[in-house]
Amino acid sequence: MRRVVFNQKGGVGKSTIACNLAAMAAMDGKQTLVVDLDPQANATQYLLGKDGADPGLTLADYFQELLRFSLRKSSPASFVCQTPFTGLDLLPAHPDLADLAGKLESRYKMYKLKEALDELSQYDAVFIDTPPAMNFYTLSALIAADTCLIPFDCDDFSRKALYNLLATVREIQEDHNPRLSVEGIVVNQFQSRAKLPRKLVDELMAEGLPILGSFLSSSVKIRESHENSKPMVFLDPRHKLTKEFEALYRNLESN
């Protein structure tokens, strides 16, 4: 299963959700891959650490190679690096991805990520982290994925953007990837005691939007998780937020 975590708005928790669900899949015994397509490389830093192991080759190297004429292309496996966590691998990002986007788009390379993941068939679960924009990398991810998860951070601006996001997914489905579906909207940074978040979620559910029943709470613990470069299940398995990620993962797997 290939899942893309997609939202054009920044700061909604795409990298956090992708990495923590991937960690849950790895803990569940699945051979798991995180694909970091964001030039900011937040998922890469989260799993390897700001001063962690050098990932070696990155997705920037992979895409640069696509732009060069060569009779021999490297295997996509050459660009995969191991994380410190058993069963969890990474296709790491690099800031150079930002400079490559225009060239790749003009050369119509948006199907190459799908081809790479087709070759990496040994993975049971793939989670794709995307930049906060609808660009070449986001389109490539939506073409390569089976399903889409949309983080929602209980904000009225985010609510208005949801409709455009769902329309974008439908357009990609019609034009590029007929198997793509919205697996669900992930309610993130939820404050159960505040009236507005509950009201927004209730209204979205009443409209029939695919809100996933497992919500993720707002917690300062996630900052500690980022700082230590450890997804929650490895940092604090008993924490409330860890249990919420586990419930979300089980919810997805049961569908």
- CATH number for the domain spanning 207: value is 3.40.50.300
User: What does the angle CA 23 – CA 13 – CA 15 come to, to the nearest 5 degrees?
Assistant: 45
245: CB partners within 8 A, 6+ apart: 20, 21, 23, 24, 216, 232, 233
Q: How many domains does the chain have?
A: 1
Q: Tell me what percent of the residues of the chain surpass a pLDDT of 70.
A: 98
pLDDT in tens, 56-83: 899 999 999 999 876 678 999 999 999 9
pLDDT digits (tens, 9 = 90+) for 83-106: 999 999 999 999 999 999 999 999
Question: Is the model more confident about 138 or about 12?
Answer: 138
Q: Could you tell me the pTM of the whole model? A: 0.95
Range of the domain at 220: 2-254
Q: Are strands 81-82 and 88-91 parallel, antiparallel or unpaired?
A: antiparallel
State the DSSP H helix or E strand holding residue 24, giving kind and residue range, or none if neither: helix 14-27
Overall average pLDDT of the 151-158 stretch = 81
The pair of structure tokens assigned to 235 is: 């940092």
Q: What's the pLDDT band for 52 if we cut at 50, 70, 90?
A: low
Residue 182 Ramachandran class (φ > 0 left, ψ -120 to 50 alpha, else beta): beta
Give the mean model confidence (pLDDT) for residues 187-210: 87
Lowest mean pLDDT among 13-22, 51-60, 201-210: 51-60
Q: DSSP of 196-208, one letter per residue? A: HHHHHHHHHHHTT
